A and B are shown apart, each in its own frame.
Chain A
Amino acid sequence: QVQLQESGPGLVKPSGTLSLTCAVSGGSISSSNWWSWVRQPPGKGLEWIGEIYHSGSTNYNPSLKSRVTISVDKSKNQFSLKLSSVTAADTAVYYCAREGGGGPYYMDVWGKGTTVTVSS
């Protein structure tokens, strides 16, 4: 079955850019699914960041839109997240997930998550 694995630096400096990659295994990123990023600050709830389709179409959380870029690399069967101008408020566990239902209606497969700390 489809599995997701996040990877990237665990520490990012303030004002820098957070970069993460989600590798998809056991299935194709070119399937009829959208793929998303969700984050969870320490001790807090979940926040949807955005989504991408294998065609490259994207949608973002309006509150993060000015700082977020999600891209896809079909040759590597992976998708990526870039979040610019980070502050301590961006410290969180970042999850990648597969969206079921052909749109942002539910997330049926999740990665294990990766912790990113923003600190100098």
Chain B
Amino acid sequence: QSALTQPRSVSGSPGQSVTISCTGTSSDVGGYNYVSWYQQHPGKAPKLMIYDVSKRPSGVPDRFSGSKSGNTASLTISGLQAEDEADYYCCSYAGSYTLVVFGGGTKLTVL
């Protein structure tokens, strides 16, 4: 069982928007502004898409955005494209003992 809770799957049609939630506790997501999101295509390494809750690394399309409210973080992908179909993982800093926790992952299907 993962420390952060994500929906197992979400789906959307090309051009639509989807939001993936990531629920933790006040000891991780709610306690720090250090939530990150990773995209992983089958057989590939994870790729950083969002860090520090809402910042995008250079080269990541602005269709990807992140936010946080309380103990729940969210990743929104607007203008869905076929290449967005992948697994998405959230991650949070969890303090000086646990340090890093991941969500269980969400499979995004582009219909």
Contact = CB atoms under 8 A, between A and B. Distances in A.
A2 B2 CA distance: 30
A46 B99 CA distance: 14
A36 B46 CA distance: 14
B97 A62 contact: yes
Contacts of A107: 36, 38, 46, 48, 91
Contacts of A112: 44-45
Category for how many chain A residues contact B? 20 to 34
Contact of B52 (A47, A61, A106): A106
Interface residues of B, number: 24
B52 A45 contact: no
Nearest to A50: B99
A101 to B, nearest CB: 7
Interface of B: 2, 34, 36, 38, 44-48, 51-52, 57, 89, 91, 93, 97-105
Interface of A: 36, 38, 45-48, 51, 59, 61-62, 95, 100-101, 103-108, 110-113
